A and B are shown apart, each in its own frame.
Chain A
């Protein structure tokens, strides 16, 4: 089925333009972050590392970065086992109840985040969790669960549950059968789910705007406030670092997932 040349060229050009549009912001951010001037002309007239120095030398940015990383790590440590257990239940349990539970656990992706944010703000105000690490971690666990669950449910779909049955019929208890037979085979999906939860925790902004403060201000909250006031080139260097980090993490998650797929 050979198509005429001209439409194919036009089609290819259109797709290429859309791809450029998709990648353009990332292409612009990186050279910007190495700019030597305060003003955002492109291409930058001179190159320097001053905006990186600005970022790494500023205790406020560093503190916010530490807080975000800590929240990300704790979120993964909690959301991954909780999400994996729930995904196992969803895959093994049957009937309407489990389907309803599955849907319920996907609620953080369905309900507009601003509604969740002000609701949490109010509830936290009542129980004294505003501007606390616990409060921030809990909120991010909630947001991360759907990612872990989706990833692990997908992993369990390609796993044959009779293997676990065999292990149990040979005398292993259920937990050991899961840990020694099932988990090793779905570990890439669990790992990928954890990484996605981490990225989502680092990236979360809207809830942090309402509930983070004082010592516990997240990096994104600081970035958002800085952006609302003026265009600060320091943000270009932070953005470049964030993009590089999420790029590496996604690569890591996907390479793991691919290995189990084959």
Chain B
């Protein structure tokens, strides 16, 4: 004779209710993310029947390779630069006294919530041949001729680093803030110099923030579209641009889908690998 545990029944009803509450949001995500992406995957294997031709092409044709390599190179550069620029800023924000930490954080958060288009425009203005950057450098006598700072890879990197720096600083800051200061004092009292204590105590404890920031920045750069399109001058073709061009200019859905699927697989693989170290929801909560 089995007895139905009333608390078990309650739990099941509760779970059902929660599913019901989540369902409208889930339906939106299924209809507008899962379904389109699923269709894209199907499309990448289809051309009047099942085919691997789209993949064969993107793995054998130079154009695609070059764009993949360029995108990964830019992502790597941007990640390293944001880490170098962001780590000290996060460290400062976590260690200075009251009004200053707020000031530093608002300098990080204000651009974070400013339109990406606005920032791309500002960098176009700043970096063009007759722009402020060139004027200042010339007046300082550092250069005699305007440098090509924009409409190339350099311009793309400068603007992308700007857009993604907050994604590095914020996870770093939230990790560093939780590191007890006494640990550093303890390190010092045991005779470690500041650099030694930093390297042996602080740096390892801040690693979860580093991993979260590095992952976010790298993965987001892989999917960047607006910045390279506006600041790359038509020569810095990143993967997202290959996808959109295949659709908009050449109407090549198969090729676009295959490139998109490869990009998606890269992104998901990175997230899943890192997700084994830090929970994904923690990482994404930073945004």
Contacts and interface: CB of A to CB of B under 8 A. Distances in A.
Interface string A1-45: 101000000011011001101111110110010000001111000
Interface string B37-66: 101100100000000000000000000000
Contacts of A107: 29, 33-34
B69 interface: no
Nearest to B260: A115
Instruction: Tell me the dominant secondary structure on chain A's binding face.
Output: helix
Contacts of A224: 117, 226, 230
Interface residues on A, range: 35 or more
A118 B260 contact: yes
Contact of A116 (B24, B36, B131, B281): B36
Contacts of B123: 25
Contact of B121 (A239, A249, A250): A239
Contacts of A90: 22
A142 B29 contact: yes
Contacts of A220: 115, 117
Interface of B: 14-15, 17-19, 21-22, 24-26, 28-29, 31-37, 39-40, 43, 85-86, 88-89, 92, 104, 107-111, 113-126, 128, 130-132, 135, 162, 165-166, 184-185, 188, 194, 222-223, 225-226, 229-230, 240, 243-244, 247, 253, 256-257, 260, 263-264, 267-268, 271, 280-281, 284-285, 287
- For the complex of A and B, 10 pairs with smallest distance between CB atoms: A119-B36, A112-B223, A25-B122, A93-B18, A86-B25, A89-B18, A89-B22, A239-B118, A114-B240, A142-B32
8 contacts: A15-B88, A32-B125, A108-B33, A112-B260, A114-B260, A115-B260, A138-B32, A231-B124
